[in-house]
Amino acid sequence: MAKQRGGGGGPDPTRRPTKAERKEEARLEREATLQRMAARRRNRTLAMVVGAILVVAVVAVVALSAEDSGGPTADATAPGALPGLLTTDPPWPANTDQLADRLAVLDLPPEGTAEHLHVPLYVYVDGEQVTVPANLGLSQAGVSPLHTHDELGTVHVESAVAVDFTLGQFFDVWGVRLTADCVGGDCADAERALRVYSGGEEVTGAPRDVVLEDSSAVVVTMGTEDQVPDPVPTGFPSGDGAP
């Protein structure tokens, strides 16, 4: 009896696939390739989404940490937040004993000549003018770009970097509390309020954010509306020019 070829009826390894079979194999390969590409796209999209979520989470954590720890501007108004911060009634001294420690916290630019401005500053509490002391911001241990040389109330801005300095930064250098409602130990109540004027115009925003401008007077008053000086100073005292 003749033997059957093919090893028991299995597929013939020498048989060439038909045209239809080749087309089917090519189709299956294309589908597999498309599935792999789609999977890679899904993985990339997922990675981007996860990355974006992580970035948002990190930013949120940093923001919360900054809010909790606070910077010099945020914390400077709280008693004890700045070394030597005064929350007492006027008059206030130059308060330079802990000036170097305050400057280390405030991180202001060094004193220099890139910017040189003179800003008249007037402070009134209950209608009485408060002396802005001489040599405020100046000591053997540290020199601030915001300082005074005499008791005329002229703030000297002498900075190695030309930037906008603010009223809040000057009071921080002085070491006297200044908030939207308090100056030193005097705070607003039912009859008294803190009012700040710049160039003769009342400030409607945060007093600490008032920018110090050359020859433009800044007036800080704590008291009743009737105790605001009339007229409100807009420059240097009468007859006095910039130093």
Strand 218-223 and strand 111-125: the pairing is parallel
Q: How far apart are CA 17 and CA 137, in angstroms?
A: 94
Domain-embedded: residue 156: yes
The per-residue pLDDT string of the chain (243 residues; one tens digit each, 9 = 90 and over) reads 544 444 455 566 667 778 777 777 777 777 776 677 667 667 666 655 555 554 334 334 333 343 333 333 445 555 468 999 999 999 999 999 999 999 999 999 999 999 999 999 999 999 999 999 999 999 999 999 999 999 999 999 999 999 999 999 999 999 999 999 999 999 999 999 999 999 999 999 999 999 999 999 999 999 999 999 999 999 998 655 455
Domain-embedded: residue 236: no
pLDDT value, residue 64: 39
- In order, the DSSP letters of 158-183 are EESS----BHHHHHHHHTB-B-SSEE
- In order, the DSSP letters of 67-128 are HHH--HHHHTTSTTTSTT-B-SPSP-----TTHHHHHHHH-PPPEEEEEEEEEEEEEEETTE
Domain-embedded: residue 81: no
Query: Are both 46 and 166 inside the same structural domain?
Result: no
- Is the omega angle on the peptide bond into residue 145 within 30 degrees of 0, that is, cis? no
pLDDT value, residue 240: 53
CATH number at residue 158: 2.170.130.30
The total domain count for the chain is 2
Domain that holds residue 212: 99-227
Rounded to 5 degrees, φ, ψ at 44 are: -65, -45
pTM over 0.75: no
